[in-house]
Amino acid sequence: MKIAVLVSGSGTNLQTLIEQLHKDETSGIEIAVVISDRQQAYALTRAKRAGIPTQIVRTQDFENRIAYDAEISRQIENYSVELIVLAGFMKLFQPPLVRKYRNRIINVHPSLLPAFPGATPVADSLAYGVKVAGVTVHFVDEDVDTGPIIAQTVVPVYDTDDEESLHKRIQIEEHKLYPKVIKSYAQGKLKVEGRKVIKITSET
């Protein structure tokens, strides 16, 4: 199955997807393209090092967000991608693109949704004083971080934590959870029923 990974930053999640899926021929998953909205994203260097095609699609080069999304869609079709994987991609899509790829766009978010959606979830979790934080992998719908939840992992919060230390602990779990979810998707094991995502096991 061909996937596209969309990035904006460092790309540590991309790196684990390269190691655990793309380079493992038994996974049946190929990262066909890495798309970034930022030319300086270090994730692009990681993709190039692995020989994966890269595309830069910047919002400022388009008249509006519908035209921006149309270019993303054109790239997705061009590379025959079946699943769009957001990995630290910090742009929101407009409803038409979400509808076109319903249940074919997934995102990893560093909080236990529905708590702390948005752009600063780790800082928000600490400011609120939560004792557990975590990771959520979910399908993308028309709103911000509200789509059906596929999987979550809980991470403890310590009194000594700052944003960096907590985010690091969360990312360790992201790197384990995201490849697993993508494998399940590729194997046709995820069934969406309304808001619920059911993992089909061999016994069911």
Per DSSP (E only), the strands in the chain are: 2-7, 30-36, 54-56, 83-86, 105-109, 132-139, 149-156, 190-193, 196-199
Question: For ligand GAR, which is the closer residue by CB, 80 or 143?
Answer: 143
Query: Largest Cα–Cα distance of the chain, in whole Å?
Result: 51
Question: For ligand GAR, which is the closer residue by CB, 9 or 148?
Answer: 9
Catalytic residue among 109, 138, 167, 175: 109
Strand 190-193 and strand 83-86: pairing?
unpaired
CB of 48 to ligand GAR, least distance (A): 15
Please count the other Cβ atoms lying within 10 Å of the Cβ belonging to residue 31. 22
Question: For ligand GAR, which is the closer residue by CB, 141 or 174?
Answer: 174
CB of 109 to ligand GAR, least distance (A): 5
Q: Is 109 assigned a catalytic role? A: yes
Footprint of ligand GAR (CB under 6 A): 7, 9-13, 43, 87-88, 108-110, 121, 171, 174
Name the residue among 199, 182, 138 with its Cα closest to residue 20.
182
Question: For ligand GAR, which is the closer residue by CB, 87 or 157?
Answer: 87
Number of residues that make up the chain: 204
| DSSP state for residue 148 in the 8-state scheme | P
CB of 77 to ligand GAR, least distance (A): 24
Rounded alpha-carbon distances, angstroms, from residue 12 to 72, 120, 164, 174, 176: 22, 18, 14, 10, 12
Q: Give the residue at shortest CB distance from ligand GAR.
A: 88
CB of 41 to ligand GAR, least distance (A): 8
Catalytic residue ranges: 109
